[in-house]
Amino acid sequence: MIMSKETLIKSIREIPDFPIPGILFYDVTTLFKDPWCLQELSNVMFEMYKEKGITKVVGIESRGFIMGPILATRLNAGFIPIRKPGKLPAETLEESYDKEYGQDTVQIHKDALDENDIVLLHDDLLATGGTMKAACALVKKLKPKKVYVNFIIELKDLNGKSVFGDDVEVESVLSL
């Protein structure tokens, strides 16, 4: 496992000053284009959650839409998108939040989840945790049984895990 994680980390493209000056962007599309990396991510995340009884994987726009459905398929679960405003066609709930470089809002369909669901929330990167905290708040409004949170990458120095309560398990495949 150590060797595969090192290989995955080496496959991530770093882009300085994106989307604004001073931000170092970790581009995971380089992981997705490599068949070995994509399969390894799928395998690692499946192993992390296969015994948790996940009924729905919720992916955050837009990179959460890549591994989220792959993981949902492997876990025999449904997939639910969390999107930016105006993208979901039915009635929605929304949550606004501050990001490291501005403010944003996310939405979920009101009928996406229910009290019988065990949810895995997925996104590509945990930095300060703002986006996922808002997504988690949205999911909790729908009162699922349990919520798990997963990232491909966690930027440990930014301490993003600290924004989540003790009732949410937060894990990532890679730490940088």
Residues 6 or more apart from 137 whose CB is under 8 A from it? 95
Catalytic residues, which ones? 63, 100
In angstroms, rounded to a whole number, what is the distance separating the alpha carbons of residues 36 and 95?
36
Give the CA distances from residue 66 to residues 23, 144, 174, in Å, rounded to whole numbers and listed in that order: 23, 23, 17
Q: Is residue 8 within 8 Å of residue 37, measured between CB atoms?
A: yes
In angstroms, rounded to a whole number, what is the distance separating the alpha carbons of residues 85 and 82?
10
In angstroms, rounded to a whole number, what is the distance separating the alpha carbons of residues 18 and 5?
25
The order of strands in the sheet holding 78-82 is 78-82, 56-60, 118-126, 146-154, 169-175
